[in-house]
Amino acid sequence: MKINKISLQNFRAFDEPFELNLDGGKNLLLHGENGSGKSSIFTAIKRFFEERGDKIDDHRNHFAPATRAPEVRLHFKGKDPLGTEQELESHWDAADGHPLPVPNDQSNSPIPAHLRSILVDGSRRSGFVDYRMMLRTHLLSSPLPRVNWGPQNHNAIYGMERKGLEAQLFDLVTLVVLAGVRTTIAGGVETTIGTLMREVWEHRPAYRYKTDLRWANHYTNTFNQAFNAKLPELEAKLAKFLDAFEHHHLNVKFRPTSLTWDKPTLTLKGAELVPEITFRGKVVNDHPQCLNEARLSAIANCLFFAGVALSDNDFVNPNYPRFLVLDDALIGLDLENRLPILRILTSETFKNYQIFLLTHDRVWFDLACGHLRENNCWLHKELLAEESTGKLIPRLRSAEADLDRARRHLANGDLKAAAVYARSAYEWRLRHVCKEFGVEIPFKPDADKIGAGVLWDGIIKRQRDRENQRTHGSQVSDFVPKSLEVAVETMRSTVLNRLSHANSSGLVNAEVNAAIDTVQMIHDHTFLKK
């Protein structure tokens, strides 16, 4: 089962209703500018799959009217784990609450019990990570001390303070990375690492009585046995994924943990995860300072991937819902070291996962588009943040969406807005044609700054090259037919020329309408490789 459609309203950046269609459950490569709503989509999916639930009111859009109820709605499609074809929808809202926790009143449940069981199982197999989580593997995030002892503020600010990092890593691994990993404890009971760790905290001793401590440490001992038994598997998976990075020269092991409640202080001792890292055959005692950002980020990403892989206890059945969602998780890696991540994501390990790869980096998005082909179960989408109305309205960017808006504004008599959306659709289509067919254009460090004029000139140069080939007897087709070329040049000299000036009051209804029709022609035209 895969997510077929995501619908949001009054959720973080999304005030008005927003819908993201995933074309039957394809993987998603999404580029989003700052403020476009990319991280809100990440949060919606992540929080939807919180097994213990979450309050949607905590995620309301600050500018939404009180009458607009917050809602996250996911539509699922595909075969369930038993092989039965399903098409289901589940929602998370304020009225019915979160869909995954088991309600006290089974008759008043937002979803059927069998669907909840499927989604809970999917949440345990899935992984959700953003750049903040990656940084927590090697950068202490505690607040600065307000007392006259402890680490120096300078060391805390610049990441040189390590005291507490092992405890932070322990919390991250037990409650996030390995939270969904299944294990069987005494009595043949199946549970998860995350559940065992939460039970340790839920059964903390209130007093120093021997019976209280014995009961509390029963849970710590159960956790210790289950967690330490998984560490060799975690190390093996981590090493496997690190091997995707050439010349990494890293070896990572973890010391076993030994949680226990301390009688004098009633504090939990041993809640630390100490990594033992070897680099180029030498033990590194201070890896956050000794290793460069690329290697630290590689370890963080591969640790996360290892946890997800260990959570999938029935890999051979492709029908279990599995989701892997990454929001700017690769920012610590340069472009060269991001390519191994793509190899990991497209490897046999994650072939049954529905992957969401979200980024704000346009250059990286363009590079990833070339590796994650749309004809290979991937969708390429872009989000923009409109500010013309005085508030952020995230929307998907596409030629079709912009042309629809252009026609609506034209019908309402707003010629400038119609022309702006026509130009946006025009540039979007040209950019994708140039990328798909390898049209040569002048290089600029920021690919998003290359204008439509440069893109069109590159396309026309390709047409001239084909015309020249035909004069020498080659049987090649037109890249751009003459009629389309004339229409575009007319649009450039009228509508686009006027938009390039501050005063665009000279726009004429007929010309804007012709421009929209011209962009539609570009969109409908089939560009041939030969």
Average pLDDT over residues 28-51: 91
* pLDDT recorded at residue 402: 77
Look at 398 and 434; give whichever has higher pLDDT: 434
* pLDDT recorded at residue 174: 94
Give the rounded percent of residues in the chain with a pLDDT score beyond 70: 90
Q: How many CA atoms lie within 13 A of 446 on its CB side?
A: 4
* pLDDT recorded at residue 121: 92
Q: Which sequence spans correspond to the domains of the chain?
A: 1-126+321-396, 155-320, 398-524
- Write down the architecture of domain 398-524 according to CATH: Up-down Bundle (1.20)
* pLDDT recorded at residue 146: 63
Q: What angle do CA 420, 422, 424 make, to 5 degrees?
A: 70
Average pLDDT over residues 229-242: 96
- Confidence band, pLDDT 50/70/90 cuts, at residue 389: low
CA atoms of 78 and 2, how far apart (whole Å): 6
Rounded to two decimals, the pTM is 0.78
Residue 431 has pLDDT above 70, yes or no: yes
Average pLDDT over residues 281-291: 89
pLDDT digits over 79-124, tens only?
988 899 989 899 999 998 999 988 777 666 777 888 888 999 999 9
Average pLDDT over residues 324-348: 89
CA atoms of 326 and 39, how far apart (whole Å): 10
* pLDDT recorded at residue 391: 56
Average pLDDT over residues 10-20: 91
* pLDDT recorded at residue 75: 95
- Confidence band, pLDDT 50/70/90 cuts, at residue 324: very high
CA atoms of 287 and 300, how far apart (whole Å): 12
* pLDDT recorded at residue 151: 63
Average pLDDT over residues 30-36: 84
Q: Do 327 and 127 touch, CB atoms closer than 8 A?
A: no
* pLDDT recorded at residue 58: 93
CA atoms of 303 and 287, how far apart (whole Å): 15
Average pLDDT over residues 458-469: 93
Residue 158 has pLDDT above 60, yes or no: no
Q: Which of 105-109, 268-272, 327-331 has the lowest mean pLDDT?
A: 105-109
User: What are the percentages of helix, strand and coil residues in the chain, rounded to 5?
Assistant: 45, 20, 40
- Confidence band, pLDDT 50/70/90 cuts, at residue 369: confident
Residue 307 has pLDDT above 60, yes or no: yes
- Confidence band, pLDDT 50/70/90 cuts, at residue 456: very high
Average pLDDT over residues 37-58: 93
* pLDDT recorded at residue 194: 94
* pLDDT recorded at residue 420: 81
CA atoms of 398 and 393, how far apart (whole Å): 15
Look at 40 and 106; give whichever has higher pLDDT: 40
- Confidence band, pLDDT 50/70/90 cuts, at residue 49: very high
Average pLDDT over residues 327-337: 84
The fourth-level CATH superfamily of domain 1-126+321-396 is: P-loop containing nucleotide triphosphate hydrolases (3.40.50.300)
Q: Which two tokens stand for residue 207?
A: 């007093």
pLDDT digits over 167-196, tens only?
999 999 999 999 999 999 998 999 999 999
* pLDDT recorded at residue 5: 95
- Confidence band, pLDDT 50/70/90 cuts, at residue 400: low
Average pLDDT over residues 481-485: 94
CA atoms of 405 and 417, how far apart (whole Å): 9
* pLDDT recorded at residue 52: 87
* pLDDT recorded at residue 485: 94
Q: Which of 249-258, 271-280, 334-343 has the lowest mean pLDDT?
A: 334-343
Average pLDDT over residues 477-498: 91
Amino acid at 299: I
**Among 449, 407, 410, 404, CA closest to 431:** 449
Question: Which residues 6+ apart lie within 8 Å of 389 measured at CB?
Answer: none
Q: Do 271 and 170 touch, CB atoms closer than 8 A?
A: yes
- Confidence band, pLDDT 50/70/90 cuts, at residue 437: confident
- Whole-angstrom CA distances from 370 to 29, 41, 322, 366, 430 are 11, 23, 25, 7, 16
